[in-house]
């Protein structure tokens, strides 16, 4: 039998000190295996190394110096994980899996960058990513998501691509397939070129004002889903909220932190904390699950930053997912008109697992008269979207998308409700592939529709 011992002795690349996955967290895992059945990649593959317990075991092996960051299995598994954190929600020992996964990814990225550093005594490093990947990560993480004006311009040009007939041509000609972009291209949201630009607008409460809240406009939510922002604002107004869109805010940094670019995430976190400070609002409302969970973890992200940590703690205490907020106040049910709809609910991972918000979205849906909620099987099993996962792990993403939509369709519901842009795009993409005319909507859109009939 050949084991790793038989392989030529190449030096192992250990975890470096910066953003090291916490040994304490890793050792909180007692290997009980209760997480296995909740893990989408384990359910799809049945492979132990593709389970949370297996992945923590691999992290432990690197932590204890038995394998190094160069391990192909380690890298593959850190990438294949969806970071859906279903395991975290069921772990009896409370292992903070997301934190050690994101740190492990950061370690891999750091080791890749180390080989580019001109130091005379270079630290052991992984081969750098190919130039095009570095360039792409640079453009995406440090360019597009770092500058919302740039992001909106990009988004508008994509809208042009869709509306000018170039998309039609690209799809018909087979050029996308040649470029290997066919799968990715179907995920492109339909864009209108409109965008929600936060410039300090204040939308007054309808009726007596009960709360003052600020809204995170974010990146893709402010472009492809700007209509969801409009719905969110109207629903909040209906519920006695004055809604402020503070200027200078940006992307929440979820893609950076999930992708191993923790410093990039920190930069965006600081910017948002500054943008939302001093408003005196009761809550900072987020209508995208992934952004909400990222923002609730700013304090952890900045725990080593003496200047910002305290401000982060104060910021986090105000962050509320829109469903969490609406279910926590006395909901205006007086103005809700009946919607005769059958709806099934797809739970975004970063709502159900990372924020443990499961009852509130359902109670809001059920507050709409006439709406019939049909529960689907495996409602909280990841749909496979998971940020940029569609691009990094297209095969697993597509398998999980198929599984999710099959579960949704077998309820017979005509609408799939969700609360996150990634999930919405994944569902729409899969439904389009199948030629199903089932619609995908955010919960706030349905609430808005129930309110709006009156006016």
Partner 1 sequence: MHRPDLIDELRRIVGLRGVVADPHALMTYDADGCVLDTGNPVVVVLPTTTEQVSAVVRLAARAGLPLVPRGAGTGLTGGATAMSGGIMISSARMDKILEVDVRNGRVLCQPGVINYELSQYLKPYGFQFAPDPSSQKACTVGGNIANNSGGPHCLKYGITASHVYGVEMVLADGTVMWSGDGSPAPPGYDLTGVITGSEGTFGMVTAAWLKLTRLPEAVRVVLALFPDIAGASSTVSQVIASGLLPAALEIMDRLAIKAVNEMYRLGLPEQAGAALLIEVDGVEDGLDELLHDVTAICWRNGALDVRPARTQAEQNQVWAARKNAFGAMGRLAPTYYLVDTVVPRTRLPYTMEQVGKISRTFDLPIANVFHAGDGNLHPIILFDRRNRSQNQRALEAASGVLQVSIEQGGVISGEHGIGVEKRDYMTLLFSTEDLAAMAGLHQSFDPHDLFNPGKIFPKGRGCGELAALRRSGLRGEVA
Contact flag: residue 30 with partner 1 (CB under 8 A): yes
One residue of 16, 27, 163, 406 binding partner 1 per CB under 8 A: 27
* Piece of 85-93, 200-208, 273-281, 329-337 that binds partner 1 (CB under 8 A): 85-93
Q: What tokens appear for 392 in the block?
A: 């990094």
Strands 283-286 and 211-215: parallel
Residue listed under structure tokens 């103005």? 335
CB of 260 to partner 1, least distance (A): 20
One residue of 16, 22, 28, 79 binding partner 1 per CB under 8 A: 28
CA gap 84, 383 in Å, rounded: 9
* Piece of 36-44, 143-151, 185-193, 444-452 that binds partner 1 (CB under 8 A): 36-44
Interaction with partner 1 in 2-21: which residues (CB under 8 A)?
Answer: 2-4, 7
User: Helical H runs in 97-241?
Assistant: 97-114, 131-137, 148-163, 166-173, 175-179, 182-186, 220-223, 226-238
Q: What tokens appear for 46 in the block?
A: 């049945």
Cβ–Cβ < 8 Å for 126, 13? yes
Q: How far apart are the first and last CA of the chain?
A: 74
CB of 410 to partner 1, least distance (A): 14
One residue of 13, 36, 100, 341 binding partner 1 per CB under 8 A: 36
Contact flag: residue 90 with partner 1 (CB under 8 A): yes
CB of 204 to partner 1, least distance (A): 39
Interaction with partner 1 in 37-76: which residues (CB under 8 A)?
Answer: 37-38, 42, 45-49, 51, 53-54, 57-58, 61, 66-67, 71-74
One residue of 16, 20, 22, 34 binding partner 1 per CB under 8 A: 34
Q: Which is nearer to partner 1, 74 or 225 (CB)?
A: 74
Q: Which residues contact 332 (CB under 8 A, 6 or more apart)?
A: 238, 239, 240, 451
CB of 322 to partner 1, least distance (A): 24
One residue of 13, 19, 21, 29 binding partner 1 per CB under 8 A: 29
Q: Which is nearer to partner 1, 54 or 260 (CB)?
A: 54
One residue of 8, 94, 118, 130 binding partner 1 per CB under 8 A: 94
Contact flag: residue 363 with partner 1 (CB under 8 A): no
Cα torsion 33, 348, 321, 259: sign:
positive
CA gap 306, 127 in Å, rounded: 34
* Piece of 34-42, 312-320, 363-371, 421-429 that binds partner 1 (CB under 8 A): 34-42
CA gap 421, 386 in Å, rounded: 10
Q: Which is nearer to partner 1, 337 or 356 (CB)?
A: 356
CA gap 143, 150 in Å, rounded: 8
Cβ–Cβ < 8 Å for 229, 222? yes
Q: Which residues contact 252 (CB under 8 A, 6 or more apart)?
A: 216, 218, 219, 268, 269, 272, 286, 290, 291, 294, 295
Q: Which is nearer to partner 1, 27 or 153 (CB)?
A: 27
Q: Which is nearer to partner 1, 4 or 209 (CB)?
A: 4
Q: What tokens appear for 51 in the block?
A: 């389970």
Q: Which residues bind partner 1 (CB under 8 A)?
A: 1-4, 7, 27-38, 42, 45-49, 51, 53-54, 57-58, 61, 66-67, 71-74, 90-95
């Amino acid at each position: 039998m050949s084991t790793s011992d038989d392989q030529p002795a190449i030096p192992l690349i250990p975890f470096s000190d910066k953003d090291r996955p916490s040994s304490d967290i890793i050792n909180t895992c007692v290997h009980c295996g209760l997480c296995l059945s909740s893990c989408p990649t384990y359910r799809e593959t049945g492979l132990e190394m593709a389970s949370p317990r297996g992945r923590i075991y691999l992290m432990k092996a690197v932590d204890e110096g038995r394998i190094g960051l160069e391990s192909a299995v380690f890298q593959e598994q850190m990438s294949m994980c969806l970071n859906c954190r279903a395991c975290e929600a069921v772990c009896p020992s409370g292992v903070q899996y997301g934190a050690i996964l994101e740190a492990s990814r950061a370690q891999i990225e750091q080791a890749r960058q180390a080989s580019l550093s001109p130091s005379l005594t270079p630290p052991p490093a992984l081969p750098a990513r190919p130039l095009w990947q570095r360039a792409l990560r640079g453009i995406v993480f440090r360019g597009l998501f770092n500058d919302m004006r740039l992001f909106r311009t990009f988004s508008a040009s994509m809208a042009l691509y869709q509306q000018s007939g170039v998309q039609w041509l690209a799809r018909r000609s087979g050029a996308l397939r040649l470029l290997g972009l066919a799968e990715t291209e179907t995920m492109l949201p339909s864009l209108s070129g409109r965008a929600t630009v936060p410039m300090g607008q204040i939308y007054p409460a309808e009726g007596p004002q009960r709360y003052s809240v600020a809204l995170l406009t974010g990146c893709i939510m402010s472009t492809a889903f700007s209509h969801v922002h409009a719905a969110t604002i109207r629903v909040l107004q209906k519920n006695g909220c004055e809604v402020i869109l503070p200027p200078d805010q940006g992307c929440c940094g979820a893609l950076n932190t999930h992708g191993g670019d923790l410093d990039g995430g920190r930069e965006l976190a600081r910017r948002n904390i500054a943008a939302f400070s001093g408003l005196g609002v009761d809550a900072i409302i987020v209508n995208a699950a992934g952004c909400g969970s990222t923002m609730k973890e700013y304090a952890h992200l900045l725990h080593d930053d003496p200047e910002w940590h305290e401000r982060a703690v104060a910021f986090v205490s105000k962050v509320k997912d829109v469903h969490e907020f609406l279910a926590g106040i006395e909901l205006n049910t007086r103005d809700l008109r009946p919607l005769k709809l059958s709806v099934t609910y797809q739970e975004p991972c970063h709502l159900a697992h990372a924020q443990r918000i499961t009852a509130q979205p359902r109670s809001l849906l059920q507050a709409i008269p006439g709406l019939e909620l049909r529960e689907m099987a495996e409602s909280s099993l990841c749909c496979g979207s998971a940020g940029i996962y569609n691009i990094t792990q297209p095969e697993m993403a597509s398998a999980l998308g198929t599984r999710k939509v099959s579960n949704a369709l077998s309820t017979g519901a005509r609408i799939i409700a969700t609360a996150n842009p990634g999930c919405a795009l994944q569902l729409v993409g899969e439904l389009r592939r199948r030629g199903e005319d089932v619609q995908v909507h955010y919960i706030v859109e349905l609430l808005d529709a129930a309110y709006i009939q009156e006016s």
